[in-house]
């Protein structure tokens, strides 16, 4: 019976999303179409989550030195999508504080609360869905306490519980992405304003192999122009060499030590050869041995499991690396 209920909810969510998507204008569909290391030091383990609910956390959380692939204290980046979602949520919260619960109706019809593929939605703490600027507008007026995602999670109920306990937070659930035509993990930031939970969700951006190779080419050019300046630039956030789940790392071939790591500067000076991926694979050692034997003309690729600095999850990673003046320079992308 529980499985039947979950399937029924899942199909209902899909049908609603498809129905709403078919009714939006061509311009709106175009906006929705915009949706969407080695990752060494991208972070380890599950990672800590900044207190986004209070709107005061830095884009990168820092902690003590990492101990290995399962360390939960490593940095976590705020992606460009998350930054946009937070800004939109802040505007929605300010609007509700000024207008009260009645202001939630504006989320369904004012462009101020839609940012391309992002939109605001709101529900009461008793479970009644109030309004949405996206496909979930089909839920308006319904009680959503028992609505589940594709995995059976009652995520609206969880949001309300967290909102009552902490005033806001972050939640991830599976939701139908009309652009991709499949269920995808969606992260949502939310706040409690009076008896209203206001939220903005986003699908975490993912870099492509082409984008990773392009950043690697730029990093190699920067190293050849001015190595010292390049090593500093690779760790500057915000900056051109840290974007969503992409960043640059540099290892000295002679010593095996990190010279730069865009996702985790604390690794600089540590021995990269001691690192293992989430499955215990000695990825750095294997890559350096291949380069030391002079194979593949000072270039290579590596696949392993590592923590995505944008999502905080252990995911599959594919990295491209090259050597320049006795240094290994690498950039990779995540594939889940």
Count of CB atoms situated within 10 Å of the CB of 4: 8
Show the low-confidence residues of the chain (pLDDT under 70). Answer: 1-77, 290-297, 336
pLDDT tens per residue, range 64-123: 333 344 343 455 567 788 889 999 999 999 999 999 999 999 999 777 899 988 999 999
DSSP state of 150: T
Distance CA 109, CA 111 (A): 7
Report the alpha-carbon distance of residue 66 to residue 173 in Å, rounded.
28
Cα dihedral 149/117/80/168 (nearest 10): -50
Q: List the domains of the chain with CATH numbers.
A: 2-32+80-202 (3.30.450.20), 209-334 (3.30.450.20)
CB 138 within 8 A of CB 105: no
pLDDT tens string 274-313: 888 888 888 787 777 766 665 556 888 888 888 888 777 8
pTM: 0.57
Q: Please report, for residues 41, 262, 290, 308, the alpha-carbon distance to residue 278 in angstroms, rounded to integers and kept in the order given.
A: 12, 19, 21, 12
The string of DSSP codes covering 15-51 is HHHHHHHHHS-HHHHHHHTT-----TTS--TT-----
């Amino acid at each position: 019976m529980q499985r039947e209920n979950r399937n029924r909810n899942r199909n209902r969510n899909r049908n609603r999303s498809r129905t709403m998507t078919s009714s939006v204008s061509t311009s709106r569909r175009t906006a929705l179409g915009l949706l969407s290391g080695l990752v060494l030091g991208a972070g380890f383990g599950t990672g800590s989550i900044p207190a986004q609910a209070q709107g005061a956390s830095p884009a990168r959380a820092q902690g003590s030195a990492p101990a290995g692939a399962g360390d939960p204290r490593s940095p976590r980046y705020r992606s460009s999508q998350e930054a946009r979602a937070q800004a939109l949520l802040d505007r929605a919260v300010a609007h509700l504080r000024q207008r009260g619960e009645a202001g939630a109706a504006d989320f369904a019809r004012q462009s101020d609360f839609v940012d391309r593929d992002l939109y605001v939605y709101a529900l009461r703490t008793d479970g009644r869905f109030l309004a949405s600027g996206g496909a979930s507008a089909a839920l308006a007026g319904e009680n959503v306490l028992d609505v589940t995602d594709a995995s059976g999670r009652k995520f609206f109920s969880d949001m309300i519980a967290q909102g009552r306990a902490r005033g806001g937070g972050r939640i991830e659930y599976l939701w139908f992405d009309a652009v991709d035509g499949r269920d995808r993990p969606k992260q949502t930031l939310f706040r409690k304003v009076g008896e209203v939970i206001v939220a903005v969700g986003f699908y975490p951006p993912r870099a492509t192999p082409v984008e990773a190779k392009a950043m690697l080419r730029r990093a190699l050019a920067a190293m050849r122009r001015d190595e010292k300046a390049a090593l500093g630039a690779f760790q500057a956030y915000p900056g051109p060499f840290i974007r969503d789940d992409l960043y640059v790392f540099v290892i000295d071939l002679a010593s095996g030590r990190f010279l730069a790591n865009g996702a985790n500067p604390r690794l600089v000076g540590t021995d990269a050869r001691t690192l293992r991926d989430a499955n215990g694979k000695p990825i750095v050692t294997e890559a350096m041995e291949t380069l030391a034997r002079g194979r593949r003309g000072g270039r290579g690729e590596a696949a392993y499991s590592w923590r995505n600095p944008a999502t905080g999850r252990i995911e599959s990673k594919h990295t491209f690396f090259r050597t320049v003046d006795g240094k290994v320079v690498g950039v990779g992308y995540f594939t889940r």
